Structure 1
Amino acid sequence: MDLSSRQEGPRPFRSRRDRPCDACRGRKIACRIETSPPCAFCESRGSNCTFQNGPNNKRRRVFSHSMPHHHYLPQPDGLTAIPQTWEDFAAEAFDSTIFDSLDLAEDASPTAFQNQRSPPQPPTSDGRHASTSPRHFPPQSLRPSSGDARHHDSSTLHRSQVPPDTGHLNRHVVMELMKGRDQLEISRTRLRRTRDHSDDPFAGGEGSQILMVREDPPFLLHGKSCMERASWSDIEGLLLSKQRDELLRLYFRFVQPLFPILQHGDGASGDGTQGDPPQDTASLALCASVYATALPFAIHNDYLSATLTDASGKREQLYSIAIAALLENANAPSIETLQACLLLLQKGPTIQHQGLTPTYSWLASIAATTAKSLGLQYDCSGWNIPTAEKQLRTRLWWATFTMDMWVSVDSPGGPSIRSDDYDVPLPKAGDGMPGDYEAVVTGSGHEFDRLVLLTHLLAQIHETYYTIHAAKQTSSDLFKSLEFARPLRSALGDCRQSLKAALPLNAGDEPGMSASVHLAACVVSIVLFRALLRPVQCRGPGSPVESYKSAAAAVVTGSVNCARETVELLENMVSVIGPWNAFWHSWSQGNFAIVSTFLVQLLLVTEVGDGTRTEVSELISRWKRAIRVMAGSGGWGSSLMCMALARLDSLLNQAGL
């Protein structure tokens, strides 16, 4: 139809070509008449068009300004008025005025901050305003004004991450430093506060979150090679046969005692014999991961020190081969796939000052899914399988559980495994077989067994204080937080005492092998005390009662004692060369940074002139002195301490301390 020839006001009678027939009018569909009746719809039904009925009375849409999310739409007169097919819908202009009372999403363009609501547009030739036409509707008129605190740049908002409350970017420390402003930048990491509609600083409390924007480096420096198909010839082109044998020996010397996910006869053993090249991609991914994990220890082997060149570049290429083989084999989960994924999680951060990226959470999710697909979450002690397989399945489950939990401590995403997802008993110290809690605490065992118990306690603390539901219950209730903490503190105290007795830091042929486990024990205590400090920091206005004051003082005292033990641990590590030659888990770098942030938090909690604040300041000086010594020594110490030192200096500078 020629709509341009129509005029405003009631339409006069015209030819049948320009008015809908009764059938099309009743169904509210387009009446298409090319030259003369019948129309396309009536012709398809084999009937003639009739033009007896006049136009129906139009109903206006009614919108309630007081209820912007509910609209009253016109209802059809009868079932016959509902279009039966897609072709039956009329080609009417889109009425964009229905969005006038809605808050829409932000524009991706940064210029949206500067645009105001557009003035009314003049009517077009068809009588409608230009603002109601899809072709002329200005996107800026739907955007909030530049003064709207809820408005963000979508291009930034869509890639913002929420750091976990357990991580080194402590939300309560950041919120304290952001008083009076909405943004903060710490070591090339931009932080932005999400503000509640109310300006009450106590009403926002636990509901306000911190958005983190940073340029996450790639997991691999040469990530594009992961898209190529991996083969055993790629590894043979990087490493000679004897070099591969020596790397296996180094792996079983340094890595296996702390992370026992392999066993002899897997195709990668520590006896120095190299079997036939693996024929499947799962074993290829595992071998490449083993060699890459062992490469940093090449300096401890005379042959590798003399023959191995460009160790860092070859390590990246081996990781690329492992990831390519892992993704190629993702449709067929296997034990080898899980082992390769766990070793990929042990790759240290690409950039030292940023820590673990979301890629690690993604790999941890793959590992957890693979383990559950293989049924490792079930207790296999009564299964009719070889004893060695039972031990391997148990160790692999706890290794997956450990990596999933610790990666989630300091990287966005949260853990993938919950306490009700498995029934595997805790491992018994020494033999990898399931045992009871008392056996783990009182018996002498390996570093891995102690780490599993610590991780189990960390998971309990996370479920008690750091889930969304638990945080709402405990973040503002000090007495409830203390009540929940009693059994956790008791179990944690027993575990730490047993760890000190069974695995002294300077004991064994290679002192310091258990340093990462001792640090993990300190961080578990810090995570618990950070949960107890939340209600102390988030208390509302007004004078607290005497019982609250004494409870808060006890929490601060316990937190300072925990910090003192951690500082003393690092000072002991500095005096013992062994820890920096040992294997450190990939998340250990974040653990040192968590300690730095915890010390700053204690400094902000205590009052100026208080004796406790003076002690905390002294602990910060001692901690900074120790990490500077190790950061300047190079090697493992430098990579582990770099982020802890950067975070400590940045936070103290932002706080003006």
Structure 2
Amino acid sequence: MDPYVMRQYHFDDLGQMPFKRLTVRSAVGGSDPVQFLIVHNRAQELNRTHEERRAELSELVSPDVGSRLLLLYYRFISPQFPVLPLQPEATVDELSPDVLAAVYVLALDFSTFDDVLCISTVYEEQQRQKLRAFVIACLREQEGQPTLSSVQSALLLTLAPPDDYLMPNNEGASSLASMLVSLSNAMGLQHDPSDWNVSAADKAMRRRLSCLVLMSDSWVAAVTGRPPLISLDNWLVSQVSAEDVASGGADPDAMSGFVQLVDLSRTLRHILQRLFSLTASRRLSTNLPETLSIAQPLMEQVAEWHLNILVAQKPAHHDSQHITLGQPGGPLARHRNT
């Protein structure tokens, strides 16, 4: 479906063009058109699967415990990784089962901060593995007709720590990252939605998700030693703006860590591209002067980023340990090749 040809067709006032069991939805026209193809024939089947999956998840994690885990997610994880809408905070009943399960995987690490969960011994490592398998199974079912929830659950699972820190499953991480990028492309996250005919909140959500997907792609590549899957030539959103945070209804100060981490991830991507792509590694392996000439500006970028962090921090500022711990990642990756 060529978007430049499709823009010549007549769309109704809602930007839609029905065609048998399909609907073409125009997000934006003009010189850079974007359309989505919506399939209707699986709606009832998907709704039935959705309810079955919700019942299955309730057997793994009861709704009352799930509500506590969701509160922990919004308290500790959402400010750094705003995958879900910021305001109002979603409830257990409002989120899809796959997103909920992925939230639980992340929030279990913070159960000691809940008065009830801190004394519970039910949620052991085996429970976390069951939740991971549940999310993967849901994503497999949605591959043919993904939604933004599919991207959110895959992204949350990508951000989750490994089951075994000493022997992380790099194959699984790379496979999940590949699925995440594929789902994101299917949902149009490679485009900049600034001119789309959607609400400001939806634009901000899409831009945040685009940055998070790009950021995850960079860090998975750095950790696994494999090339990034996303080409910046085909990804139009690489940084977030103040509007992307404000439109979500969040406190900009509380979200500063997310903005800073996106900036650091951009530098990491430059390091991977200029020092560790296959062509760069082959060229630089026998050329120390050129290696140093490329590494020096990257070192200065990381140093400038860290200086800006120190200047921006306030004595009573929110916890920013995730930034402090993440800062050595750039220099470590850079020095691998020097």
Classify the TM-score, shorter chain: 0.7 to 0.9
Q: Distance in 2 between matches of 1:312 and 1:444?
A: 31
Structure 1 unaligned residues grouped into runs of 5+:
1-228, 435-442, 534-657
- Structure 2 residue aligned with 1:530: 336
- Structure 1 residue aligned with 2:81: 259
- Structure 2 residue aligned with 1:284: 97
How far does residue 413 in structure 1 lie from its aligned partner after superposition? Answer: 3.3
- How do residues 423-572 of structure 1 correspond to structure 2 at under 5 angstroms? 423-429=236-242, 431-432=244-245, 446-503=256-313, 507-508=316-317, 513-531=319-337, 533=338
Contact map agreement 2:211 2:238 (CA 8 A) in 1: no
Greater fraction helix = 2
1:110-164 CA-to-partner distances (Å, cap 9, x unmatched) read xxxxxxxxxxxxxxxxxxxxxxxxxxxxxxxxxxxxxxxxxxxxxxxxxxxxxxx
Contact map agreement 2:227 2:277 (CA 8 A) in 1: no
Aligned sequence identity (%): 27
Contact map agreement 1:365 1:416 (CA 8 A) in 2: yes
1:57-112 CA-to-partner distances (Å, cap 9, x unmatched) read xxxxxxxxxxxxxxxxxxxxxxxxxxxxxxxxxxxxxxxxxxxxxxxxxxxxxxxx
Contact map agreement 2:210 2:238 (CA 8 A) in 1: no
- Structure 1 residue aligned with 2:145: 332
How far does residue 469 in structure 1 lie from its aligned partner after superposition? Answer: 0.9
Indicate which of 45, 69, 90 corresponds to 1:247: 69
- The amino acid across from 2:173 in the alignment is Y
Contact map agreement 1:451 1:517 (CA 8 A) in 2: yes
Q: Distance in 2 between matches of 1:525 and 1:444?
A: 26
Structure 2 unaligned residues grouped into runs of 5+:
1-50, 248-252
SS in 1 for 2:98: helix
1:509-545 CA-to-partner distances (Å, cap 9, x unmatched) read 5xxx4223223222202222333x2xxxxxxxxxxxx
Q: Distance in 1 between matches of 2:163 and 2:93?
A: 32
- The amino acid across from 1:459 in the alignment is R
- Structure 2 residue aligned with 1:355: 168
Indicate which of 90, 93, 107 corresponds to 1:275: 93
Q: Classify 1:433/1:417 alpha carbon distance in 2 versus 1 (closer, same or farther; 3 Å).
A: farther
Is 2:198 the counterpart of 1:388? no
Q: Distance in 1 between matches of 2:110 and 2:261?
A: 22
Structure of higher RCO (CA pairs closer than 8 Å, 6+ residues apart): 2
- Structure 2 residue aligned with 1:413: 226
How far does residue 305 in structure 1 lie from its aligned partner after superposition? Answer: 3.0
Q: Distance in 2 between matches of 1:493 and 1:366?
A: 34
Q: Distance in 2 between matches of 1:288 and 1:349?
A: 16
Is 2:115 the counterpart of 1:302? yes
Q: Distance in 2 between matches of 1:314 and 1:430?
A: 39
Q: Classify 1:459/1:342 alpha carbon distance in 2 versus 1 (closer, same or farther; 3 Å).
A: same
1:297-338 CA-to-partner distances (Å, cap 9, x unmatched) read 111111223556234333222222211111111111211001
Q: Distance in 2 between matches of 1:479 and 1:319?
A: 46
Q: Classify 1:444/1:474 alpha carbon distance in 2 versus 1 (closer, same or farther; 3 Å).
A: farther
Contact map agreement 2:125 2:163 (CA 8 A) in 1: no
- The amino acid across from 1:485 in the alignment is A
Q: Classify 1:401/1:364 alpha carbon distance in 2 versus 1 (closer, same or farther; 3 Å).
A: same
Q: Classify 1:355/1:246 alpha carbon distance in 2 versus 1 (closer, same or farther; 3 Å).
A: same
How far does residue 503 in structure 1 lie from its aligned partner after superposition? Answer: 3.9
How far does residue 423 in structure 1 lie from its aligned partner after superposition? Answer: 1.8
Q: Distance in 1 between matches of 2:328 and 2:119?
A: 39
Q: Distance in 2 between matches of 1:475 and 1:325?
A: 44
- Structure 2 residue aligned with 1:403: 216
- The amino acid across from 2:172 in the alignment is T
How far does residue 403 in structure 1 lie from its aligned partner after superposition? Answer: 1.1
SS in 2 for 1:231: helix
- Structure 2 residue aligned with 1:647: none
- How do residues 6-21 of structure 1 correspond to structure 2 at under 5 angstroms? none
1:459-494 CA-to-partner distances (Å, cap 9, x unmatched) read 111111111111122222222223323432332222
SS in 2 for 1:313: helix
Q: Distance in 1 between matches of 2:163 and 2:334?
A: 29
SS in 2 for 1:302: coil
Structure number with bigger Rg:
1
Q: Distance in 2 between matches of 1:475 and 1:528?
A: 14
- The amino acid across from 1:494 in the alignment is E
- The alignment's TM-score, normalised by the length of structure 1, stands at 0.40
1:220-279 CA-to-partner distances (Å, cap 9, x unmatched) read xxxxxxxxx9621122223332212111111100110111110058xxx746x4436x6x
Q: Distance in 2 between matches of 1:402 and 1:331?
A: 25
How far does residue 451 in structure 1 lie from its aligned partner after superposition? Answer: 0.9
- The alignment's TM-score, normalised by the length of structure 2, stands at 0.76
State the aligned residue count.
283
- Structure 2 residue aligned with 1:238: 60
**What is the aligned-residue RMSD (CA, Å)?**
2.7
